Amino acid sequence: MTREVDAKDLRVVIIGAGMAGILSAIKLEEAGIGNFSIYEKADRLGGTWRENTYPGIACDVPSHLYSYSFAPNPDWSHQYSPGAEIQAYFERVAKQFGVDERIEFGQEINRCAFIDGRWHITTSAGIKDEADFIIAATGVLHHPSYPEIAGLEDFAGALFHSARWDHDVPLDGGRVGVIGNGSTGVQITAALAKRASKLSLFQRTPQWVMPQENPAYTEDEKQAFRAHPESLRALHEDISNLFAAGFANAVVDADSELMKGIEDQCLANLEENVSDPDLRERLRPDYRAACKRLVISPDFYEAIQKPTATLVTEEIERIEPGGVRTRDGHLHELDVLVLATGFKADRFVRPMEVIGRTGKRLDEAWADRPSAYLSISVPDLPNFFMLNGPNGPVGNFSLIEVAELQFGYIQQLIDQVRSGECRSLSASARATEDFDAARVEAAKKTIWTTGCRSWYLDDRGVPATWPWTFDRFREEMAEPDLAAYDFFD
């Protein structure tokens, strides 16, 4: 016979106070599960938006989509709002819903062990806690990737990764180098080409660039949003559907007309907006658009054509105290060198030590590469659920929407315990293997496998991302297939 569990007898630990951790707290409270804590290793909430403060930072997902569905914001300044505004939004929402008071700042969880049906948690500061559930909201692009370039430590000027920006370093009138031209490097270049006396962008591989204007919302528009909150909800829904039917479908079908349309727009952007034929050829990629994560920018081409800007396509030989020496022998003299070289995208909850019910460590389970059933649950890690975990829809969607859908799914797993069906549950090994095999097969049709290097690809060259349509993701998240789970008492 099943016996219902009172919600107040369930304790949840949320790891991380970024977008997904804040969301989890709000949703748990709403579901009557008020006994939870959020552990955050930093001294401030915000995750990605706390860490990435580089000049030019903005989100290239429309702001009215990159907002919680339950907390629309009539005050977004632009269609694609700057990073500081997004950070302020999360701080405001966390305060509004009383989440900020539930965060244990400066507490990095370094160990979670499932012992006798509960999770035992230890933080680096020595705090111990126990919980029935863990929600890992630890982010995706979180661990900076530093390039292996000889002499990096010899540079005499200021050197930092784009996600560790040193705001004490003056930029105006200085000589700035940027290594990397992904979404980050392109935004930095566009922002700094008008401030630096000399801006050198070190490009290893050209990028396709989708032009996208970014109009500011007028006061009248914001007033109308405030007066009619339902119009904001409708806008959120409309943009979401546009994304799902457009870009999301295109990337998973490399041969589609939609994909061709996107490529045509990028090509026209290059042809029409870069006037110097030599520069145009050096900016022209030799792989398909959106194979790498598509770069979206209204002003990158304009910036790189400024007299202050130089596109360096010679290979970097080494870093010297005075700057970057390229293979042609030229020394690019610099005061500041920014590493916009991306992130280690395969870390997820690691380096945290996670020990499951059989005593096996997550690091062993993921020795080859990370995997999880529907990116949420790992076999033998009962009641341990990830938001934006391995192989989920990342890259070009609103990760807020992804996390909201995932949380709705996780909530239904928690309900299994609440209703007394089991004390804990995790995806079965069989379901996880089948899911992994299916996604690897489906990935062959996607644009990400058409011949380029990118952070989407795992060590085998298989895209580690959701290879189906966004509609399918929504359907999968609507209701768990409980046959895919092992139930434990």
Taking the C-alpha atoms of residue 322 and residue 336, their distance in angstroms, rounded to an integer, is: 10
Which has the closest alpha carbon to 196: 304, 103, 328, 108? 304
Taking the C-alpha atoms of residue 289 and residue 291, their distance in angstroms, rounded to an integer, is: 5
| Residue 407 near ligand NAP by CB under 6 A | no
| Residue 399 near ligand NAP by CB under 6 A | no
Nearest residue (CB) to ligand NAP, 18 versus 182? 182
Taking the C-alpha atoms of residue 65 and residue 70, their distance in angstroms, rounded to an integer, is: 11
Classify residue 451 as left (phi > 0), alpha (psi -120 to 50) or beta: left
| Residue 87 near ligand NAP by CB under 6 A | no
Nearest residue (CB) to ligand NAP, 179 versus 477? 179
What is the chain's percent helix, strand, coil content, to nearest 5?
A: 35, 20, 45
Nearest residue (CB) to ligand NAP, 139 versus 379? 139
| Residue 211 near ligand NAP by CB under 6 A | no
Nearest residue (CB) to ligand NAP, 297 versus 377? 297
Give me the least distance between CB of 300 and ligand NAP, in Å please. 12
Indicate which single residue of 183, 240, 388, 424 sits in contact with ligand NAP (rule: CB under 6 A): 183
| Residue 178 near ligand NAP by CB under 6 A | no
Give me the least distance between CB of 186 and ligand NAP, in Å please. 7
Q: Which residue is nearest to ligand NAP (CB)?
A: 182
Nearest residue (CB) to ligand NAP, 67 versus 181? 181
Nearest residue (CB) to ligand NAP, 59 versus 376? 59
**What are the angstrom distances between the C-alpha of 202 and each of 150, 166, 168?**
15, 20, 23
Residues linked to residue 82 through DSSP beta bridges, in sequence order: 58
| Stretch (H or E) spanning 440 | helix 429-443
Indicate which single residue of 214, 341, 391, 446 sits in contact with ligand NAP (rule: CB under 6 A): 341
Give me the least distance between CB of 342 and ligand NAP, in Å please. 3
Per the listing, tokens 């930092």 go with 160
Residue/partner pairs of 123-128 with CB below 8 Å, 24 or more apart: 123/39, 124/41
DSSP 226-256: HH-HHHHHHHHHHHHHHHHHTHHHHHT-TTS
Classify residue 124 as left (phi > 0), alpha (psi -120 to 50) or beta: alpha
| Residue 466 near ligand NAP by CB under 6 A | no
Which has the closest alpha carbon to 89: 45, 35, 140? 45
3-state secondary structure of 29: helix
Indicate which single residue of 50, 64, 236, 293 sits in contact with ligand NAP (rule: CB under 6 A): 293
Q: Which part of the chain contacts ligand NAP (CB under 6 A), choosing from 17-25, 182-190, 364-372, 435-443? A: 182-190
What are φ and ψ of residue 405, in 5° steps?
Answer: -65, -45
| Residue 185 near ligand NAP by CB under 6 A | yes
Which has the closest alpha carbon to 414: 132, 13, 69? 132
Indicate which single residue of 24, 63, 184, 428 sits in contact with ligand NAP (rule: CB under 6 A): 184
Q: Which part of the chain contacts ligand NAP (CB under 6 A), choosing from 184-192, 214-222, 259-267, 270-278? A: 184-192
Token couple for 199: 């801006």
Indicate which single residue of 149, 224, 245, 267 sits in contact with ligand NAP (rule: CB under 6 A): 149
Token couple for 398: 């609103």
| Residue 59 near ligand NAP by CB under 6 A | yes
Nearest residue (CB) to ligand NAP, 315 versus 434? 315
Give me the least distance between CB of 119 and ligand NAP, in Å please. 30
| Residue 297 near ligand NAP by CB under 6 A | no
Per-residue interface string for the shown chain with ligand NAP, residues 321-340, x marking contact by CB under 6 A: -------------------x
Give me the least distance between CB of 318 and ligand NAP, in Å please. 11
Residues of the shown chain interacting with ligand NAP in the complex, contacts defined by CB under 6 A: 58-61, 141, 147, 149, 162, 179-185, 187, 204-205, 293, 316, 340-343, 395, 453, 455
